[in-house]
């Protein structure tokens, strides 16, 4: 009997996450990607790692501080995990800067775009920058001395700072240290008068540092980047009755979390680095040295200055189904379900679903969950207008959505101001479900229209996140969704749902049942198989169930973008499990759960990944595709992605991800294939519209001389 709990059968969660970020880093090295997109991928790896340190590494450090020594599924204590990830993260940071200095900056220079250092400047450029420094930077710079009367100042999270070693002109010994925060008021990158030449703001500050310290000699200056513990810990007890106030209070506290990582320039002397590490109270293993500009997100800022469309992915807009135009939308959904595959299908119909409902006199109520929305959300605007038009509008705004807390608090307040009933999430649970319910009076009946999705109601990220959504008027789904909102906003325990499955109490058990059914079919010699696509797999119990399925001979095909703690190729444990990971132009975000069911596949979509937090500590929804046409479409989408051999990496038994061998095989880039299919649809639609316009233009008039008895006019 195999013990599926053995540590050797699992990969550490954090090591797996770093492997995912490494796959993103590979895209920055891939010369098949346009140059600016490669730079963007590199900037993404920086942003990813910053957030990972703020939350995951910070959480591990918290566990160490309180003496928590429980091992994870892979058998590692928090202390051991920190040791391991410090080494792996350090190696990845080194690779980031190799890509920058050896590949991207030289390639950008060949295209005529230069990032200059102070040593590269001409006299005229120095003169230009001196005026800029005096007018724009000097008034906002605040050098802060560090001595017995002036303690080390607070340095905000995610800021660039400059550390300075000084001595007085007449002194023989150097004994002064100061720091100053690099200002953000003028932006990170400054354009020089010469075309396509730029310089970083911290280089300008360092160039003119002497003017900030008259009477002192600057012995050394260095740039360093500070990342703090940003994990938001919301109390889960009855002593904090107002969750909105709790979140707002914690946001203020979070900004002053302890330093969790600091990055220094490679040129920093050991003496200054050691002094700053001590003053920042950061572990030396969390201090990294880099050979190049600190904080690689400067690349995104720099590239916004440059107009070079041939160095980017071609512009792309999703397909707009004419049946989902506002004047047809409700009638179309009443007669059939519609599946949307974003961004290949436009997100516009989802926005217009809510906008149309807001204006429609027959609509009585709109209910919706919001997890992450854009800064200028048309959906939030439409919800406010609906309330002002006298409709019952109820919105659950999840104000605990990580790093979107402030934005969501703002929108929640704005919606309340416009008369919307706002629920501020649930205590102890994050509401991650994506659902809209529109209640409409039609003749003498009430009909419910529903949108269920795998992704956020964010009109910006919908352009580059892949997600799936269902528009339906199915009565059972509508009744289930109505019950969901009764649970979320009031006191309700419906006992059962017709078609939906909801966590924290239902999705885990339902997936277990489906896996067990496939195991039984395999043992009975029937057709069995599991196909799933999601973002992360880190729930140990779910992995054990998949191991049991593999042991029974069930073929398990998983497309996982990010974390996977599961191992493949283990004899008698995971021999029939295969894991693919796709990293490409669009961020893979859709969740598909499909079970072969003896040749009659059952397909479900969900807002949930197979992570413990999603299954046990969040409100998530999993919903079926009852329509065979839509079910088969999703299965086709999965199969196309499964056969991708351009952007897919396959998990190996040794834990590495390797690209498929394409020798003698035609290239298949799934995202590119979906994009091209969309362009064909758009072209066909344009031709149809032109044909219709031509027919209308040349439509013959009725004969005006036909007598009235033959149907003519008087």
**Residues annotated as catalytic (active site), given as ranges:** 432
What is d(CA 433, CA 614) in angstroms, rounded to the nearest whole number?
Answer: 10
Residues in Cβ contact with 591 at an 8 Å cutoff, skipping those fewer than 6 apart: 454, 468, 533, 534, 535, 605, 606, 607, 608, 609
Residue 522 CA, chain-centre distance (Å), reads: 37
| Beta pairing, strands 577-582 & 587-588 | unpaired
Entry field: residues in the chain: 714
For residue 507, the cross-strand partners are none
Alpha helices in 34-157 (DSSP H): 35-52, 58-65, 78-98, 105-110, 123-132
Instruction: Please check whether residue 334 is in contact with residue 473, taking contact to mean a CB–CB distance below 8 angstroms.
Output: yes
Maximum Cα–Cα distance across the chain: 117
Strands 197-200 and 445-453: unpaired
Phi, psi of 68 (to 5 degrees): -75, 120
Q: 473: which residues sit within 8 A by CB, 6+ positions away?
A: 333, 334, 447, 448, 449, 450
* CB contact set of 391 (below 8 Å; sequence gap of 6+): 357, 358, 363, 364, 365, 366
Q: 593 CB contacts (<8 Å, ≥6 apart)?
A: 511, 514, 532, 534, 603, 604, 605, 606, 622
φ/ψ of 199, rounded to 5, equals: -145, 150
Task: Spell out where 247-315 has E strands.
Answer: 259-265, 287-290
Nearest to 547 by CA among 73, 4, 3, 12: 4
Question: How many other C-beta atoms lie within 10 A of the C-beta of residue 282?
Answer: 19
* Paired strand residues for 657: 651
């Amino acid at each position: 009997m195999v013990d599926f709990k053995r540590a050797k059968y699992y990969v550490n969660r954090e090591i797996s996450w770093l492997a995912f970020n490494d796959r993103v880093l590979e895209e920055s090295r891939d010369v098949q990607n346009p140059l600016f997109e490669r730079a963007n991928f590199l900037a993404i790896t920086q942003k990813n790692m910053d957030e990972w340190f703020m939350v995951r590494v910070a959480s591990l450090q918290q566990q160490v501080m309180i003496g928590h020594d429980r091992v994870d599924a892979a058998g590692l204590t928090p202390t051991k995990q920190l040791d391991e990830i410090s080494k792996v993260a350090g190696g990845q940071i080194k690779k980031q800067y190799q890509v920058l200095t050896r590949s991207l900056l030289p390639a950008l220079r060949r295209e005529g775009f230069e990032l200059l250092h102070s040593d590269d400047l001409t006299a005229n450029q120095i003169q230009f920058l001196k005026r800029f420094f005096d007018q724009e930077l000097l008034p906002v710079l605040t050098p802060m001395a560090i001595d017995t009367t002036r303690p080390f100042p607070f340095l905000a999270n995610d800021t660039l700072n400059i550390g300075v070693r000084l001595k007085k002109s007449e002194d023989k010994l150097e004994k002064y240290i100061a720091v100053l925060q690099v200002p953000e008021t003028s932006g990170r990158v400054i354009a020089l008068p010469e075309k396509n030449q730029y310089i970083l703001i911290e280089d300008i500050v360092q160039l003119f540092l002497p003017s900030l310290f008259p009477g002192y000699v600057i012995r050394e200056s260095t740039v360093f980047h500070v990342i703090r513990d940003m994990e938001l810990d919301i109390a889960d007890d009855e002593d904090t009755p107002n969750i909105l106030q709790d979140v707002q209070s914690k946001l203020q506290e979070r900004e002053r979390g302890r330093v969790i990582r600091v990055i220094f320039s490679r040129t920093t002397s050991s003496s200054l680095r050691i002094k700053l590490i001590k003053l920042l109270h950061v572990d030396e293993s969390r201090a990294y040295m880099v050979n190049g500009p600190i904080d690689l997100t400067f690349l995104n800022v720099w590239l916004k200055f440059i107009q070079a469309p041939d160095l980017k992915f071609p512009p792309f807009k999703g397909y707009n189904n004419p049946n989902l135009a506002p004047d047809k939308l409700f009638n179309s959904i009443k007669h059939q379900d519609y599946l949307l595959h974003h961004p290949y299908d436009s997100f516009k119909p989802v926005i217009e679903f809510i906008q149309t409902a807001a204006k429609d006199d027959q609509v009585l109520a709109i209910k919706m969950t919001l997890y992450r929305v854009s800064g200028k959300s048309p959906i939030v605007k439409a919800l406010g207008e609906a309330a002002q038009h006298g409709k019952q509008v109820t919105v659950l705004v999840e104000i605990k959505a990580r790093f979107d807390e402030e934005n969501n608090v703002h929108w929640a307040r704005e919606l309340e101001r416009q008369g919307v009933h706002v629920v501020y999430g649930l205590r102890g649970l994050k509401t991650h479900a994506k659902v809209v319910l529109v209640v409409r009076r039609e003749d003498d009946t009430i009909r419910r229209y529903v949108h269920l999705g795998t992704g956020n109601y964010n009109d910006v990220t919908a352009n580059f996140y892949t997600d799936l959504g269902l528009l339906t008027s199915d009565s059972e789904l509508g009744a289930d969704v109505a019950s969901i909102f009764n649970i979320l906003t009031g006191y309700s325990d419906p006992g059962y749902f017709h078609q939906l499955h909801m966590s924290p109490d239902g999705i885990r058990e339902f997936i277990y049942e489906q896996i067990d059914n496939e195991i039984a079919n395999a043992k009975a010699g029937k057709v069995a198989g599991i196909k799933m696509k999601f973002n992360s797999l880190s729930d140990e119990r779910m992995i054990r169930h998949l191991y049991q399925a593999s042991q029974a001979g069930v073929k398990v095909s998983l497309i996982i973008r990010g974390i996977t703690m599961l191992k493949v190729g283990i004899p008698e444990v995971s021999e029939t499990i295969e894991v693919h990971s796709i990293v490409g132009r669009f961020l893979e975000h859709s969740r598909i759960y499909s079970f072969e069911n003896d040749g009659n596949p059952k397909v479900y979509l969900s807002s949930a990944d197979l992570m413990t937090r999603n299954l046990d500590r969040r409100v998530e929804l999993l919903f079926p595709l009852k329509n065979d046409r839509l079910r088969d479409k999703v299965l086709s989408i999965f199969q196309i992605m499964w056969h991708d051999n351009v952007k897919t990496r396959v998990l190996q038994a040794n834990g590495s991800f390797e690209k498929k061998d394409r020798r003698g095989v035609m290239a298949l880039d799934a995202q590119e294939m979906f994009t091209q299919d969309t362009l064909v649809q758009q072209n066909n639609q344009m031709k149809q519209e032109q044909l219709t316009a031509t027919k209308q233009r040349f439509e013959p008039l009725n004969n005006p001389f036909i007598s009235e008895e033959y149907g003519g006019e008087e």
